Amino acid sequence: MTRDQIAASYDAVARQYAEAIGDELVDKPVDRAWLNLMVEVTAGGILADAGCGPGHVTAYLSEQGAMVVGIDVSPGMIAVAASRYQGIDFEVGSLLALPAGDAAWSGAVCAYSIIHLEPEQRPVAFAELARVIVAGGWLLLSFHIDDDAHEAGAVKRVTEWWGEQVALEFHFLDPQVIAREVDQAGFTVMAVTRRRPWPGGDGREGEHPSRRCHLLAQRVI
């Protein structure tokens, strides 16, 4: 799956996506806890939301006091994010070629954004993240492990989303594989947690029924 395919697919659903999941963190206490930790450990530097989509995670990080920038491959998503959260910097960019200088960031959050990368692309992305994160800085990866229909290593292909034609592949990832790849890119894996899908509150629908992983790593000093 190419960068252009991903960008065009998310361009097509940007507004629907924002409306559907823009408030999802309300029902994600584990995700919020990890994001709060990232705000704490990167204080004083730039914290990037790499694969920011419509910007709701970026906005949450900003509300907690972080100096943030949102990066996404989809110009449509960036346009929606900029319109919804004025005063926050959003920029078009790819995990494979991040729009930042060497050691520019104190850390990066990749909230379910590496799931669209092909296996051969992930080492490139992790090397880019190692390049832009300062020595001693932090990386938080969140991703799907499996669900009832897909095991770790499987790929789910989606051709229609919210009534729009798309061409997307969602990769279910093995935490041990990702930990090894992150380590090889120049990080030390500090924590790996696995969790089940969280239920919604006040009658809201819960998460997609997949097991998820949050992986925290520190750039080698």
pLDDT at site 179: 98
Q: How far apart (Å, rounded) are the C-alpha atoms in residues 46 and 207?
A: 29
> Is pTM beyond 0.85 here?
yes
Share of the chain above pLDDT 90, in %: 90
pLDDT at 46 over 80: yes
- pLDDT interval class at 208 (50, 70, 90): confident
Segments in the chain forming alpha helices (H)? 3-21, 29-41, 56-63, 75-84, 122-132, 175-184
Evaluate if residue 203 carries a pLDDT over 90.
no
Q: Which top CATH class is 3-155+174-219?
A: alpha beta
Domain positions in the chain are 3-155+174-219
What's the whole-number mean pLDDT along residues 55-79? Answer: 98
Cα separation, 163 vs 99, in Å, equals 32
**What pLDDT, in 10s, does the model give residues 76-85?**
999 999 999 9
- Reading the block at residue 59, the tokens are 């906005």
Q: With cut-offs at 50, 70 and 90, classify the pLDDT of residue 60.
A: very high
HSE-CB at 111 with a 13 A cutoff on CA atoms is 25
Question: pLDDT tens-digit profile of 99-118?
Answer: 999 999 999 999 999 999 99
138-174 pLDDT tens trace: 999 999 999 999 999 999 999 999 999 999 999 999 9
Cβ 108 vs Cβ 140: under 8 Å: yes
| pLDDT reading at 200 higher than 80 | no
